[in-house]
Structure 1
Amino acid sequence: MKKLLSLCLLLSFFTFSETFAQNNRRHDTNYNGWFMYFGTHKLTDKWGLHTEFQLRRYQVVSHPQQFLPRVALTYSLSDRASVAAGYAYVRTYPYGDNPAREAFPEQRTYQQLQLRDQQGIFILQHRFRLEQRWIKFPGAEDYTYLNRARYQFRATLPLQGATLEDKEFYLGLYDEVFVNFGPNVTQNIFDQNRAYAAVGYRFHKDATLEVGYLHQHVAQRNGIWFESNHTLQVGLTYNLDFRKKNPAPQE
């Protein structure tokens, strides 16, 4: 009987705690615009240089949200697999109903494994990324170190035939989940989720343009505020080939 009573009290405590946590949560809805450039440039048959620049705006274009340049060294394991290691700088500005007190910087290193596959007419991609983050939160004198893991699954569907060719449209879909781990994780292990759908146009194999919608669900570190960010995304990909060209044979 005592064990049953103790169990009931324990269940009641967890139920009350969860109900309180749910009632204590606050939600912030924002409308943003992300304008992006990506390029993975071939240095040799195996090695490459990834460059990236993202200008993220609050209220679509009106106010700054984030500024993010990224660079990485890539290595091709095969036609379907590659690895990368790189660095990103992120500057986040106050935005939304629960803004930071001031803009703050983040220094980030990361490692990545990317796998590609073809199933019927679908082009599939899996991206696994580990991030080491040093964030100087507003009012702090020192940087806080955080770890984060990300997994993205993407599918590309040609819209003008069984394969994606030059000068054709396609549909791009992805979902990406972010999870915090290690020291200094506060109220949430779950960091955010991104769900994305876009229409793209392939100019040629090294140049594409995508315009789409991203829903970003973000859990802030205090465990109380949750963001629902409706985001217009415009992304240009343009890859360059810096490999030495063999001279044409002379006749």
Structure 2
Amino acid sequence: MKKFTAQYYLLLAFLTLLLLPNTTAAQSERIKDFNQNGWYMYFGDHSLTDKWGVHTELQIRRYNLLKDPQQLLIRTGVNYNITDNAMFTLGYGFIETYPYGDFPAADDFVEHRIYEQLQLKGSISRVGLLHRYRLEQRWVQSPITSDYTYLNRARYMLRATLPLAGTTIEAREPYLAAYDEVFIGFGNNIQRNIFDQNRAYLALGYRFSDAAALEVGYLNHIVQKASGMVFEHNHTLQVGLTYNIDFRKQ
């Protein structure tokens, strides 16, 4: 995973463009909904043994940066380290979404989610790379009837980090972070939003210690609603704290 060719990235960019609904007919039907959001997040991967660990995550997402609620996300999982550079996770997420934007949901609604995830680490020179592949099985509540609909979704994220002092990111050093993640719906009950979301992110990070880091950045978040007509363009402030506890030392 340490070396990747330029052709790989060109292919990835080409496939991403193909997946985006960018035909002239589709563009003529689009309704754009612009929002300013703030996501305030905590992430932790805690080692229990050399192979096993626990993932914990809390995200408080706000509409109008801080003023109004947008979403609450709680996610946990069991990690298994296949190698030093490969980790598999099986987990559960609880999500509560509130009405926001110019095309809000009729009421609050919740989602229960099971996910399977594979993370692969690599590098190109000083740039650290992370590939994250995730499958999600989603039970999404209707805000009108309270009934649940089952949905499948696949996600792929490519994340890069660049140290700003030295060749690696060490304690008490800043760094740059960027990622792009595409969401694709598939299976029964998918409507016109096979392309579900895209997230493009750029941030400045600071590693306080081997266990803790903070990132503050901008997320360009595009969401296609189920109708295929409404596209959210969410300009989002992200503040993320990572704190990993190694219980093997206890």
Same fold (TM over 0.5): yes
1:10 — aligned with what?
none
CA distance in structure 2 between the partners assigned to 1:20 and 1:122 by the alignment: 40
The CA deviation at 1:132 is: 0.3
The CA deviation at 1:19 is: 5.5
| 1:155-214 residue CA offsets vs partner (Å, 9 max, x unmatched) | 000001111111000000000000000000001210000000000000111100000000
After superposition, where does 1:36-185 map in structure 2 within 5 Å? 36-185=41-190
**TM-score, normalised relative to structure 1:** 0.89
- Amino acid corresponding to residue 55 of structure 1 in structure 2: I
1:222 — aligned with what?
227
Q: Residues 187 and 244 of structure 1: is their aligned pair in 2 closer, same or farther, counting only changes over 3 Å?
A: same
Q: Residues 163 and 105 of structure 1: is their aligned pair in 2 closer, same or farther, counting only changes over 3 Å?
A: same
Which structure 2 segments of 5+ residues have no match?
1-22
**TM-score, normalised relative to structure 2:** 0.89
What's the Cα RMSD here?
Answer: 1.1
The CA deviation at 1:244 is: 5.7
- Amino acid corresponding to residue 74 of structure 1 in structure 2: N
CA distance in structure 1 between the partners assigned to 2:24 and 2:218 by the alignment: 33
CA distance in structure 1 between the partners assigned to 2:235 and 2:27 by the alignment: 22
CA distance in structure 2 between the partners assigned to 1:94 and 1:78 by the alignment: 42
State the secondary structure of the residue aligned to 1:67. strand
Q: Residues 19 and 243 of structure 1: is their aligned pair in 2 closer, same or farther, counting only changes over 3 Å?
A: closer
| 1:21-63 residue CA offsets vs partner (Å, 9 max, x unmatched) | 4333210000000000000111111100000000000000000
State the secondary structure of the residue aligned to 2:27. helix
Q: Residues 237 and 19 of structure 1: is their aligned pair in 2 closer, same or farther, counting only changes over 3 Å?
A: closer
CA distance in structure 2 between the partners assigned to 1:141 and 1:97 by the alignment: 22
State the secondary structure of the residue aligned to 2:28. helix
State the secondary structure of the residue aligned to 2:79. strand
- Amino acid corresponding to residue 174 of structure 2 in structure 1: F
List, as ranges, runs of 4+ consecutive aligned residues in structure 1 with deviation greater than 2 Å.
Answer: 18-24
Q: Residues 99 and 205 of structure 1: is their aligned pair in 2 closer, same or farther, counting only changes over 3 Å?
A: same
CA distance in structure 2 between the partners assigned to 1:125 and 1:29 by the alignment: 30
| 1:84-112 residue CA offsets vs partner (Å, 9 max, x unmatched) | 00000000000001000111000000000
CA distance in structure 2 between the partners assigned to 1:169 and 1:136 by the alignment: 41
CA distance in structure 2 between the partners assigned to 1:207 and 1:53 by the alignment: 15
Q: Residues 19 and 237 of structure 1: is their aligned pair in 2 closer, same or farther, counting only changes over 3 Å?
A: closer
Alignment equivalent of 2:236, drawn from 223, 231, 236:
231
The CA deviation at 1:20 is: 5.4
Which structure 1 segments of 5+ residues have no match?
1-17, 246-251
2:248 — aligned with what?
243
- Amino acid corresponding to residue 37 of structure 2 in structure 1: N
- Does residue 197 of the first structure (1) align with residue 202 of the second (2)? yes
- Amino acid corresponding to residue 30 of structure 1 in structure 2: N
1:5 — aligned with what?
none
Q: Which has the larger radius of gyration?
A: 1
CA distance in structure 2 between the partners assigned to 1:174 and 1:92 by the alignment: 24
State the secondary structure of the residue aligned to 2:247. coil
Q: Percent identity at matched positions? A: 58
The CA deviation at 1:140 is: 2.2
State the secondary structure of the residue aligned to 2:248. coil
